[in-house]
């Protein structure tokens, strides 16, 4: 992922005090957008724009390469060999559905970047675990750059969990959702 223009901030409004959301394209409810100047990490909601569709396509491919499935001849192969290539319109629909304004479950899709180098770090799928929105489950898909993954993996998981607790988004904290080959299991974030 050599390109650095995925960290788009075009159309995103100014910071308003400690508010976790910012206006985007004249939408007053805004999008989840937070920049940590100390840790140099930026987290923002996935948007229905060209750069995000392209990055989502890449992250879905990364996630599929990490899942093993049985082929018809009994051999193991990665899921990316089985799944058809993602269609841009299908991805735009997924992005719109991953906006809490458009779904009744409160699910949200997020991207995380290094705010200085503009390097992509991870994609997050966040979902509430119960109806009172006290706890959340997060699926992390890290960059396929192993150096980036090693540098940020534990730090980012803790940072995201702390951010959600401190801002009151998920006051009970979050767990990581990991696919074990059959189903997702929740693992506490260390």
pLDDT recorded at residue 30: 82
pLDDT confidence of residue 43: 94
- What is the reported pLDDT for 163? 93
Provide the pLDDT for residue 59: 87
Tell me, what's the pLDDT at 2? Answer: 46
Per-residue tens of pLDDT for the chain, all 190 residues: 445 668 877 778 888 887 888 888 777 678 899 999 899 999 999 989 889 889 988 888 887 777 666 667 777 766 666 666 778 888 888 888 888 888 888 889 999 999 999 999 999 999 999 888 899 999 999 998 999 999 999 999 999 999 999 999 899 999 999 887 778 899 999 7
Q: What is the pLDDT at residue 183?
A: 83
Report whether 41 contacts 112 (CB < 8 A).
yes
Give the 3-state secondary structure of the chain: CCCCCCCCCCCECCCCCCCCEEEECCEEEEEEEEEECCCCEEEEECCCCHHHHHHHHHHHHHHHHCCEEECCCCCEEEHHHCCCCCCHHHHHHHHHHCCCCCCCCCCEEEEEEECCCCCEEEEEEEEECCCCCCCEEEEEEECCCHHHHHHHHHHHHHHHHHHHHHCCCCCCCEEEEEECCCCEEEEECC
**Residue 25 falls in which region: left (phi positive, over 0), alpha (psi -120 to 50) or beta:** left
pLDDT of residue 171: 93
What was the pLDDT predicted at 159? 95
Q: Do 120 and 140 touch, CB atoms closer than 8 A? A: no
Q: pTM of the predicted model, to two decimals?
A: 0.87
């Amino acid at each position: 992922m050599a390109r650095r223009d995925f960290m788009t901030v075009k159309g995103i409004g100014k910071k308003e005090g400690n508010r976790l959301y910012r206006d985007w394209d004249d939408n007053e409810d805004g999008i989840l957008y937070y920049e940590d100047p100390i840790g140099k990490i930026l987290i923002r909601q996935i948007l229905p724009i060209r750069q995000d569709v392209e990055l989502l396509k890449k992250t879905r491919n990364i996630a599929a390469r990490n899942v093993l499935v049985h082929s018809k001849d009994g051999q193991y192969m990665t899921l990316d060999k089985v799944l058809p290539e993602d269609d841009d319109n299908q991805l735009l629909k997924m992005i719109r559905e991953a906006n809490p304004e458009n779904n009744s479950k409160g699910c949200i899709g997020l991207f995380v970047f290094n705010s200085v180098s503009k390097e992509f770090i991870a994609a997050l799928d966040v979902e509430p675990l119960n109806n009172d929105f006290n706890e959340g489950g997060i699926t992390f898909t890290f960059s396929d750059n192993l150096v980036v993954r090693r540098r940020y993996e534990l730090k980012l998981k803790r940072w995201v969990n702390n951010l959600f607790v401190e801002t009151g988004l998920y006051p009970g904290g979050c767990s990581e959702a990991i696919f074990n080959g059959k189903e997702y299991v929740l693992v506490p974030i260390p």
